[in-house]
Structure 1
Amino acid sequence: MAQAESGRMPRQIGYIIGNEACERFSFYGMRNILVPFLISSVLLQYLPEAERAGMAKDVFHKFVIGVYFFPLLGGWLSDRFFGKYNTVLWFSLIYCAGHACLALFEDNINGFYTGLLLIALGSGGIKPLVVSFCGDQFDQTNKDKAKLVFDAFYWIINFGSFFASLFAPLLLRHFGPAVAFGVPGVLMFIATLIFWMGRHRYVNVPPSGPNPHSFLNVVKTALRERRDGEGNLGSILAWSGIALAAAMLLSWALSVQGWAGFWPQSLDFVITFCLALGVLIAFGGWGASLQLERARGLHPDAAVDGVRAVLRILIVFALVTPFWSLFDQKASTWIIQGNAMVIPHDQWWWPSWLIKEPAQMQALNPLLVMLLIPFNNLVLYPGLRRMGVTVTPLRRMGWGIAFSGVSWIIAGALQLWIDSGAQVSLAWQSLPYLLLTFGEVLVSATALEFAYSQAPHAMKGVIMAFWYLTSTFGSLWVLITNAGVRNPRFESVIASSGLSEPAFLMFFFAGFAFLAAVAFGLYARRYPMQDNYRIAT
């Protein structure tokens, strides 16, 4: 196993960052053209034209749910059996196969959706591991370099994303879906090759293997242990969560078989499964926190304290989920809004030679990230510190959620303008993109550093997987809302508001973000920060 260089920037970091740049081009190249492709493709021609945009949006967010659910699998396999390097390499090959399916089966719904599943599995499987693998290259002697690398890591992700967002829609427009989906596949192969080339230089922290003091084992002990004179409310809560989750899945199965009244038809398997997963995590975590001290003496104090730290982190993560429900809709709802706007080709300042599709506006997001990260680090944060304002990671994340809400207020105002019959320039979308991206930098770039530093060593892969699971629940809220607007009662509420459905939902999601920001701020005030970088050997 390679050793970290004391006090110096690890040389192997270049392979990891190079891999990530190409992988992000690959991922965002296909992701950012998915909705416009589906709307106009033969895959959805079985639907009336007016319903295709809604179905494309549903397919997109189900894909996002898969991408951010499978980190649970990747993190578990890495921590338990194969280690980060092997797990990343093998899932990357699955990822490449998924891209091949998209390029080959543009007119075959089963083949295309198989490709989306494989990409979700491959991308999700490596997602929690690359960042934590990058963190493994540091120890206590050079951990001061880690923040620079995490910021550079996030910057290079957006470098790849920028060019993907800019050129993938043009590839789709001029060369068709086979080429538009094929080019990202080639980039994913290059990403895998770059990662493999650094195999002899990496610090490879071995998998923990079976651990009697793992997170789940400590939780099970806490819930099973009985004490005289004390109740078992924690166990009751955990079992209630299991029963409720099982009842939800059973109700969905019965509704599929035609047993009306058991479960709303609009809540399909993906929605039901995610709701059941949320119930398990919420009730199980709540129950474990109430009885966790019962595990002391049966497990080392460090393991019990580690579980307590993870449970606190999960509350932080839960409060971030509304941010992702807003952020990920820039590739669905905002593209659909952009299609109703006018591209200002007649203006001298508009780059008509390059920007030809509304989907290309997504390139603003990574471009702004590359500008805002150095601006924040070199200007904004030092300026706030000179003013006596402590810029903690949790404060940054809370304000980021709030800024995302402001961006959707602006998007809603643009939608009202469109609904009035005015010819609205696509250039106006730049303003909500700026505000949303500023919120993203405060939330997501900070969370990379926060999640790694807060996770106990044996649980770093899994806790990173839980972080990415926040995006799964973010898209879940979108799917639930989309299902709700098809309900006649919800339709009547929207109609009574005097707003169009798109405008109503934009203001609804803005309010959702503001409520989450307040709750996040209240919890952050009492969160105890940890330092879990490994000790140099």
Structure 2
Amino acid sequence: MEKRKEHELKIHENVKTSKSPKLCGTNYPVSISFIVVNEFCERFSYYGMKAVLTLYFINYLHWDQNLSTAVYHAFSSLCYFTPVLGALIADSWLGKFKTIVYLSVVYVLGHVIKSVGAIPSVGDSTIHIVLSMVGLILIAFGTGGIKPCVSAFGGDQFDEEHTNERRKFFSIFYMSINAGSVLSTLITPVLRGDVQCFGGDCYALAFGVPAILMVIALIVFISGSGMYKKSPPEGNVLLDVCKCMGLAIKNRWKSSKYDPKKKHWLDWAEEKYPRRLIHEIKMVLRVLVLYIPLPMFWALFDQQGSRWTLQATRMNMAFGSTFVLKPDQMQMLNALLILVFVPIFDVVVYPLIGLCKINLTPLKKMAVGMIFAALAFGSATLVEVNVTKTVVEPAPQGQCLLQVYNLAGSDINLNIPGSNLFSQPIKSYEDPPAYQHIQLGGHNKTISMGVTQNENPYQCVQTFTEQKAYTLVLHSNGSGIVCQLATDNIHKSEKMEANLRFINTWSEAVNITVGGVDFYVPADYGISPHNSVERKVYTNDKCTSGSQNSTIHLGLLDFGASYTVILKGGPGEIILQKMEDVKANDVHIAWQIPQYVLITAGEVMFSITGLEFSYSQAPASMKSVLQAGWLLTVAFGNVIVLIVAEGAGLDQWMEFLLFAGLLVAVCIIFSIMAYFYTYVDPDELDKLFPDKTVNDDNEENLKKNQKYQTDDSMYLNPIEKSTKM
């Protein structure tokens, strides 16, 4: 996503002619190679850490899905609030070079703390949470703070006459962002899942490698220090804009008289600020008003790393018998698709639309992009509905869940007073019927159930607790029916593992090892606890009973399923009966591809077009203000997800549908606003305010007008150029 949104808050500076050496007889400064490598490593670092973040919250910190989603988007939001702070520091105090260096140190420190927090031996869970949050806050300030500086600093390295070289640099810069994004979202999930450390997934390594990449990024950047062209800070136009608006509001509030010369509220700042600046702010405000509905698009878009990743954990990730995708690797599809879609839209789609005589203005493109994003969430809703068919929903308050295993030699009838559940005979050693809801009417309830076998009645008295799931095991001891109650694990593993337990009908206890996981199963219908095992086909697993060793063949234990394996026969002749308590993930991950295709198409039409529109409608000196506004729409979009995740309390498919509906509604509002928008040409400012006709009386305003008439050619929009690749 950053390849369209990671653009600098551009502050215009007068840059001296560079004496930096050039690359191989070209007009490219050697210094830009350090900047490009730095950006690749930094983007690898950021996306690599973020790719595994949601699963880290759930599997390592043991947070629920809603809290994990909320914290993920709170972090993402902070990453897009802090660029404004970084721009202020760079342009008003330290300059770009020192800002990048100092905040990169903060960035590295955040990664290191985050990695240490993922080491189990450092302390209890509270310490892990504190270290993780401190690390994320430092990372947010680091990545956000350098975000507006790096690409602008790269543009500063070129001489003013080398416009084409600067243009190509931004394309290379864009490619380095994409390369870092794709590789990191592919590699770090492998480090997390395929490398085992501290007895489980190696999150310390998955965070540690991005930390190392960020250290390399800092070292590489500092290594080129002697070659850089460094411009001193000259003040931030954002501050001037805020001061101008504040003065206008203050003067208008204090004045009780109507002034016909002041047709706009900003005109009340003319006593101190030049008319050109005031006119430019008016132009920018018209665009910023159009930004108001935009956060809803980002609220949907940024859920690829949270809700969509969680959806993937409940899907079948296997491609054939050899390759298994990881749920957090699916995010790389967006980065790959954007590289394909940008040239296709630019070279094929838009020209074809033009041939059809359709006037597809930038604002219309953005509206269509919103529709594509809404359709993506419609597709995600359909996938989620089918995914939830394999999920056993927990019982509500006042109820519990119950299934029955009949391990006796013949059919059994079960009667629960006050209900017609289990009205059909329960077959011997067959997969049990679906879980049934038992009304308890309170927190606990003791129920006396009637059991009939071959017309012989028995009583089964058990105590149930609300919101738990149980298996009632019925078997014969020779003189009658015996019932046992076992607590079930109905929750699918977020690691896409299978849950497994054993029931031992033998007269001797059994020790079983499945994929390195040990199970102890007591004798005489003893039941082992549930354990998670890796998804794969199991053959020749060790089974020990007394002094006799043998092997068992469990077959495929699939993604997300819960199995109960009943040991029948005897140690000399083992017979296995495998029951599936919770269905395996039977919806393939390929069904997520349509939603990724739709959201990426929406991104191309919304994000890239939106930046191009903003830059085309902004005066040269105000592009940084619009860039700040654009980044803030991303921040507020993540805030929306945070609020919904924590406050809505909806089923996931309903939440997806809610987001899709909200975006359609926002698209309608945006379309109405766009209909009344009049496109402007910022170059007309030079006619209204020529250099030598300032229309301001005092010398201070004359200087300010000259300040806001800087050359725009050195601040080419990297997005605008990268879309032509």
The answer, yes or no, to whether TM exceeds 0.5 is: yes
1:514 aligns with 2:673: no
Conserved? CA contact 1:139–1:536, under 8 Å:
no
Tell me how far apart the structure 2 counterparts of residues 115 and 216 of structure 1 sit (CA, whole Å).
Answer: 32
From 299, 315, 326, the equivalent of 1:341 is: 315
- Do the aligned residues in 2 keep the contact of 1:131 with 1:448 (CA within 8 Å)? no
The Cα offsets for residues 82-106 of structure 1, whole Å up to 9 and x where unpaired, read as: 2222212221111111111111121
Deviation string 1:405-458 (CA, Å, 9 cap, x unpaired) is 111111111112223348211111011011111222233334454555655555
In the alignment, the residues of structure 1 paired with residue 237 and residue 113 of structure 2 have an alpha-carbon distance, to the nearest angstrom, of: 38
- The answer on whether the counterparts of 2:299 and 2:640 sit within 8 Å (CA) in structure 1 is yes
1:190 and 1:333, CA in 2 relative to 1: closer, same or farther beyond 3 A?
same
- Is 1:182 the counterpart of 2:208 in the alignment? yes
| Aligned partner (choices 8, 18, 28) of residue 47 of structure 2 | 28
Supply the distance in 2 between the matched residues of 1:207 and 1:456 (Cα, whole angstroms): 21
Letter matched to residue 347 of structure 2: L
Tell me which moved more, 122-131 or 329-338.
122-131
Deviations 1:94-135 (A, max 9, x none): 111111111112142211211111101101111223344445
Q: 1:22 to 1:520 in 2, by over 3 A?
A: farther
Asked whether the 8 Å contact 2:67–2:645 carries over to 1, the reply is no
1:423 partner SS: coil
Q: 1:520 to 1:99 in 2, by over 3 A?
A: same
| Correspondence for 1:273 | none
Question: Which residue is equivalent to 2:300?
Answer: 326
| Unaligned 5+ runs, structure 2 | 1-14, 20-25, 121-127, 196-201, 391-584, 684-708, 715-725
Identity level (%)? 34
Measure, in 2, the Cα distance between the counterparts of 1:55 and 1:211: 38
Greater displacement, 453-462 / 161-170: 453-462
Kindly report which structure 2 residues correspond to 1:186-205, keeping only aligned pairs within 5 A, or say none.
Answer: 186-202=212-228, 204-205=230-231
Instruction: Mark the CA change 1:137 to 1:518 in structure 2 (over 3 Å): closer, same or farther.
Output: farther
Pick closer, same or farther for the CA change 1:212–1:60 going to 2, 3 Å. closer
Distance in 1 of aligned mates of 2:670 and 2:132? 39
Q: AA paired with 1:24?
A: R
Structure 2 letter corresponding to 1:399: V
- Separation in structure 1 between the aligned mates of residue 263 and residue 95 of structure 2, nearest angstrom: 29
1:230 to 1:307, Cα distance in 2 relative to 1, 3 A: same
Give the equivalent residue in structure 2 for 1:63. 75
Pairwise CA distance, 1:229: 3.2
Q: In the alignment, residue 269 of structure 2 is paired with which amino acid? A: A
CA change 1:147–1:379 in 2 (3 A) is: farther
Q: Distance in 2 between matches of 1:330 and 1:64?
A: 12
Distance apart, 1:522 and its partner CA: 3.4
- The equivalent residue for 2:257 is 229
| Within-5 A mapping of 1:345-384 | 345-346=319-320, 352-353=322-323, 355-384=324-353
> Does structure 1 residue 91 correspond to structure 2 residue 60?
no
Measured in 2, the distance between the counterparts of 1:298 and 1:123 equals 36
- What is the aligned counterpart of 1:172 among 192, 198, 206? 192
Residue identity in the other structure for 1:230: Y
Task: Provide the residue aligned with 2:642 in structure 1.
Answer: 479
The Cα of 1:173 is off from its aligned counterpart by 0.7
* TM-superposed deviation, 1:388: 4.3
Instruction: Choose which of 96, 119, 130 in structure 1 pairs with 2:150.
Output: 130
**Change in 2 beyond 3 A, CA 1:195/1:473:** same
Equivalent residue number for residue 40 of structure 1: 59
CA deviation profile, 1:312-357 (whole Å, cap 9, x unmatched): 332233322111101111100001111111123437xxxx43x431
C-alpha distance in 2 between matches for 1:203 and 1:407: 45
When residues 212 and 445 of structure 1 are mapped into structure 2, their CA distance, relative to the original with a 3 A threshold, is closer
Instruction: Give the 3-state SS of the residue equivalent to 2:292 in structure 1.
Output: helix
Structure-1 residue corresponding to 2:526: none
C-alpha contact 1:222 1:293 (8 A) present in aligned 2: yes
Q: Point out the structure with the larger strand share.
A: 2
Change (3 A) 1:357 1:210: closer
After TM superposition, the score normalised by the length of structure 1 is 0.76
2:468 is aligned to none
Corresponding position: 1:218 with 2:244: yes
Q: CA offset at residue 310 of structure 1?
A: 3.0
In structure 2, relative to structure 1, the CA distance for the partners of 1:398 and 1:145 (3 Å cut) is farther
Kindly tell me: are residues 335 and 453 of structure 1, through their superposed partners in 2, closer, same or farther at Cα, counting changes over 3 Å?
Answer: same
Pairwise CA distance, 1:149: 5.1
Q: Determine helix, strand or coil for the equivalent of 1:128.
A: coil
Q: Does 1:103 align with 2:115?
A: yes
CA RMSD, Structure 1 to Structure 2 (Å): 3.2
Give the direction of change, closer, same or farther, for the CA distance of 1:415–1:128 in structure 2 (3 Å limit).
same
Q: Which amino acid aligns with 1:528?
A: V
Q: In structure 2, what is the equivalent of residue 432 of structure 1? A: 595
Q: CA deviation at 1:26?
A: 0.7
Give the TM-score taking structure 2 as reference length: 0.57
Which stretch shows the higher mean deviation, 145-154 or 369-378? 145-154
Distance (Å, rounded) in 2 between the aligned partners of 1:452 and 1:298: 27
Q: Secondary structure at the match of 1:225?
A: helix
Q: Distance in 2 between matches of 1:209 and 1:378?
A: 40
1:19 aligns with 2:38: yes
Aligned amino acid, residue 78 of structure 2: G
Report the AA paired with residue 517 of structure 1.
C
CA contact (8 A) 2:369 2:604 kept: yes
Give the secondary-structure state (helix, strand or coil) at the position aligned to 1:89. helix
Report the Cα distance in structure 2 between the residues aligned to 1:523 and 1:111, rounded to whole angstroms: 45
Structure 1 residues 330 and 534 mapped into 2: Cα distance closer, same or farther (>3 Å)?
Answer: same
Counterpart residue identity of residue 410, structure 1: S
User: 1:509-528 CA deviation, whole Å, 9 max, x = no partner?
Assistant: 11222223333333344243
The residue type equivalent to 1:298 in the other structure is K
What 5-or-longer segments of structure 1 have no aligned partner?
232-287, 487-493, 495-500
Kindly provide the amino acid, as one letter, of the partner of residue 282 in structure 2. Answer: R
Distance 1:214 1:154, change over 3 A: same
Assess if the C-alpha contact under 8 Å between 1:4 and 1:10 holds in 2: no
Instruction: Tell me how far apart the structure 2 counterparts of residues 184 and 70 of structure 1 sit (CA, whole Å).
Output: 20
Q: Which residue of 2 aligns with 1:3?
A: 17
Partner letter of residue 296 of structure 2? P
SS of the equivalent of 2:148 reads helix
CA contact (8 A) 2:27 2:162 kept: yes
Per chain length, whose mean CA-contact separation is higher, i.e. which structure has more relative contact order (CA < 8 Å, sep 6+)?
A: 1
What's the secondary structure of 2:587's corresponding residue? coil
Relative distance call for 1:66 and 1:517 in structure 2 (3 A) is same
Greater helix percent: which structure? 1
Give the equivalent residue in structure 2 for 1:115.
135
Greater C-alpha radius of gyration: 2
Query: Contact 1:75/1:465 (CA < 8 Å) preserved in 2?
Result: no
Whole-angstrom CA distance in 2 between matches of 1:450 and 1:432:
26
Cα distance between partner residues in 1 of 2:95 and 2:358 = 41
What letter matches 2:661 in structure 1?
G
Query: 2: distance between equivalents of 1:291 and 1:139?
Result: 40
Would the alpha carbon gap of residues 153 and 440 (structure 1) be closer, same or farther in structure 2, given more than 3 Å must change? farther
- Worse-matched range after superposition: 326-335 or 16-25: 16-25
Counterpart code for 1:126:
I
1:247-396 map, 5 Å? 291-346=265-320, 352-353=322-323, 355-389=324-358, 392-396=361-365
Name the CA shift for 1:452/1:208 in 2 (closer, same or farther; >3 Å).
farther
1:469 paired with 2:621, answer: no
Q: Which residue does the alignment assign to 1:407?
A: 376
